[in-house]
Chain A
């Protein structure tokens, strides 16, 4: 501590580069999140399908892609696959694929649990009205399951934003990659890592706040006019990804 000279001026000087890295982090996260949302739902529907092979396939998917860490996927996809098949994905695409595979497997489980949580009588009532299976799902089951799934899906988004920093290992200049590069040239690790950490925290708190608003909106019909969860309650609910032990 004593021998260190703070050089906070490095941070505003690097703002441009950091902002560019942040933009890349946002793009990577947003695209991976959107793809995972869709792919996860498809896998969840296969998990619940009447067809046995389809169920087995979806089960295998969720088990395999949840089994390894993102770190392994990124390296495997970027270096491993390209070495064998000669497919050069590029760092951004490799990051998207890795994040999507891992998170869609988690999301499939979130969706599945949410769909199964909807009371069986809801489906019965819709079928009794003459709605087909597709319309029963789209008008009755999914809207209710979706509300249940929102907190879990938001946690997944938080994970994606944080985990996306791992793509720095294949040289993608996202927020983390940019910071690592700047640290090696500017020699101000404390200042730069602090700035980056603050950026991540602000980003994730903003996501949590937006999610809480969304959740309150979706739960309107259950409150009967009362107020939603207090700020403390939703802070607890979105403990920065839901993985911090209480």
Chain B
């Protein structure tokens, strides 16, 4: 599918899967016998338009890596990711330049249409909040500086950071940084948002505000995949929950059902440990 066609498909509310991942495998330190870690061992997932999928599981279970496989920041070793009609595997066609170009273009399509929010915010410290938000629109979408600036201020305003537009990240609190990071992702007008433990690095009193922001986003119809340890949020905002352990999906189902009456033993152990 061409990029224009994919854009069109995205705009029409087709009520179908936005992203489908199949058979995702990922190892770190590949080829180093002893240090090789098989993080993902064949994970499938699918998310429909407007759906909020919450991914839970113990640390080291591969949740964050799974998110990074979806936008190919950590390309999967095996398996494919289908996003808005494109289908990509982690294998880069190195031999033929034309195919390589097509692959790079598809990669850019994924990344510009998938927003990501990180645990440690990852704001660019040498840029003001406004420039952080405007970077993607200017350098990846090709907007003019003025258009990007306008969009940047608009998005900052939306997350309540309009007054901090001229501040550098070092002058902001953790909660404020994460708001800017959310605005930065939303300024790309993404079709899918990935949240990688967006509240885990925050002081307890700041967590609520960010969760509120995410809830509002979900209510506006944004398709989201949320990795989190906030079970209250998962139950209230999540449509479905996916429980991962040791690189596989152990249990999957409606958010309320999985959290309130988990079927699998490992899910029960994890939830009782986290909720007590």
A residues with CB within 8 A of B:
119, 121-122, 124-132, 135, 139-140, 143-144, 147, 220-225
Contact = CB atoms under 8 A, between A and B. Distances in A.
Interface stretch (B17-25, B40-48, B111-119, B234-242): B111-119
B124 A125 contact: yes
Interface in B166-189: 168-171, 184-185, 188
23 contacts: A121-B122, A122-B122, A122-B124, A124-B68, A124-B73, A127-B73, A128-B71, A128-B114, A128-B116, A129-B140, A129-B185, A131-B140, A132-B104, A139-B139, A144-B126, A220-B168, A221-B126, A221-B127, A221-B170, A222-B125, A222-B168, A222-B170, A224-B168
B170 A224 contact: yes
A124 B118 contact: yes
A221 to B, nearest CB: 4
Nearest to A140: B124
B170 A130 contact: no
Contact of B111 (A121, A122, A130, A140): A130
Nearest to B132: A125
B211 to A, nearest CB: 21
Contacts of A124: 68, 73, 118, 122
B129 to A, nearest CB: 11
Nearest to A225: B171
Given A130-B108, A224-B171, A135 B126 contact: no
The 4 closest A-B pairs by CB, nearest first: A130-B140, A130-B112, A129-B136, A125-B122
A139 B140 CA distance: 11
Contact of B125 (A129, A139, A144): A144
Nearest to A144: B126
Contacts of B118: 121, 124-125
Contacts of A127: 73, 111
Given A126-B124, A220-B168, 13 more contacts: A121-B118, A122-B122, A124-B68, A129-B140, A129-B188, A131-B139, A135-B139, A140-B124, A140-B135, A221-B126, A221-B168, A224-B170, A225-B171
Indicate the member of B122, B170, B184 with the most A CB atoms within 10 Å.
B122
A4 B262 CA distance: 98
Nearest to A138: B139
A124 B169 CA distance: 17
A121 B120 contact: yes
B161 to A, nearest CB: 16
Nearest to B128: A221
Contacts of A119: 122
Contacts of B184: 129
A223 B168 CA distance: 9
B126 A147 contact: yes
A130 B188 contact: yes
B73 A129 contact: no
A143 B132 CA distance: 14
Contacts of B123: 125
Indicate the member of B120, B124, B168, B171 with the most A CB atoms within 10 Å.
B124
A167 B8 CA distance: 67
B202 to A, nearest CB: 16
